[in-house]
Amino acid sequence: FQGIFVLGLPYALLHSGYSGLFLIILAAALCCYTGKILITCLYEENEDGQLIRVRDTYEDIANACCKKLSPKLGGIVVNVTQVMELIMTCILYLVVSGNLLSHSFPYVPMTEKAWSVIAFVTLLPCVFIKTLKIVSKLSQLCSLVHFIIILVVMTYCLTQIHQWSWAKFRLSIEFEDFLVSVGVIIFSYTSQIFLPTLEGNMKNPGEFRCMLNWTHFFACVLKTAFALTAFLTWGEETKEVITDNLPSFLQTLVNLCLLTKALLSYPLPFFTATEIVYVCISRSNHSSYRSPLFSLGVRGSFLLLTLLMAMFIPHFALLMGLTGSVTGAAMTFLLPSLFHLKLKWKKLSFLEKCADIFVFILGFLCSLAGIVCSIKGLLAVLG
């Protein structure tokens, strides 16, 4: 939950004012809720009234909802959406790595794309990752690096406490800028793609809901504290990535930490995307599709694809925003609420149905607004 998006939260407060603080709390509550209802869709009651896990993946849930239309239609839509978002995330980490390296070593005569290739080389061992345990260890290191970054930024901000002023918060906001803030805040919490796999790998799945409550609570507290202290320090001068506001002697240190975080973050979406594709392909009866060599080939192809897209697609950030508005909102709000209503309608109370419908409408509006803003940005760049 504490991804690179966190570094954009102070900038989001710049454009959303006091409402941004409310949005950080609301987004945590909504994303926690959709995570819970998504996992609920994996279970059904048996004859004794006990909950039994009858589905394993997001795809299984989608197929169960769409079986009257087509047995595999829902799964195909979900898998395509998941893989698109995961690949875009991997590419973003490569692009960010190249950018950070070029800013950390400005005197080396290399382009950002060349630095991205160097970052890509360090990621080659990802093709040998076979289990989620390895990914979890890397994610743990990633979290440690992230807290170092947050600690450095917040410590510097606290040294500037004499400059703080609540007058820096705006009451009036521009609608389009506010929509950008909504996107940054909401999608800093998204994790629904990973939740079915995570819950299935827990030693005690019964603790999942408790785990989700506490992680979202602490993520909300940390995001609010970080965004608030950084914004109160720099006010109107707050930049899109808050580390750009730091003095030069701290910028290099933080940029290198961010680089480490980006590289350690890459394996999770990469592993998830390749597992989805490999499972879909290996369902074929052809035995060669299940060989270790074929699995290695799938991972290697994906790794190369992320590099090529990072190198050769122009205006990638805007395309990422457009794709994220569609896939992010769909996987986080639209599909969990829709699937929950479809599979559990008869067992839901009136308030639960209203909550699901509210989340669905909110997700649709967020997606629509993000698409409009991204297309306007692309049209402006393309003239």
Residue 87: exposure state from Cβ atoms within 10 A (0-12, 13-18, ≥19): buried
Residue 85: domain span: 5-382
What's the pLDDT band for 1 if we cut at 50, 70, 90? low
pLDDT at 300 over 60: yes
The total domain count for the chain is 1
CATH number of the domain enclosing 137 = 1.20.1740.10
Q: What is the mean pLDDT of residues 357-365?
A: 90
What confidence score (pLDDT) does residue 42 get? 93
* Amino acid at position 68, single letter: K
What confidence score (pLDDT) does residue 295 get? 80
What confidence score (pLDDT) does residue 163 get? 86
What confidence score (pLDDT) does residue 249 get? 81
What confidence score (pLDDT) does residue 158 get? 93
Q: Is 309 left (phi over 0), alpha (psi -120 to 50) or beta?
A: alpha
What confidence score (pLDDT) does residue 25 get? 92
pLDDT at 285 over 60: no
| CB of 274 closer than 8 Å to CB of 299 | yes
Q: What is the mean pLDDT of residues 7-30?
A: 86
Q: How far apart are CA 350 and CA 235, in angstroms?
A: 44
User: Can you tell me which residue has the tokens 């608030």?
Assistant: 228
Per-residue pLDDT tens for 147-160?
888 889 999 999 99
What confidence score (pLDDT) does residue 3 get? 65
Q: How far apart are CA 321 and CA 318, in angstroms?
A: 5
What's the pLDDT band for 209 if we cut at 50, 70, 90? very high
Residue 44, helix vs strand vs coil: strand
Per-residue pLDDT tens for 253-269?
888 898 898 899 899 88
Average pLDDT, the chain: 84
Per-residue pLDDT tens for 36-92?
999 999 999 888 878 899 998 888 899 899 888 777 888 888 888 888 888 888 888
| CB of 1 closer than 8 Å to CB of 219 | yes
What confidence score (pLDDT) does residue 355 get? 95
Q: How far apart are CA 137 and CA 145, in angstroms?
A: 13
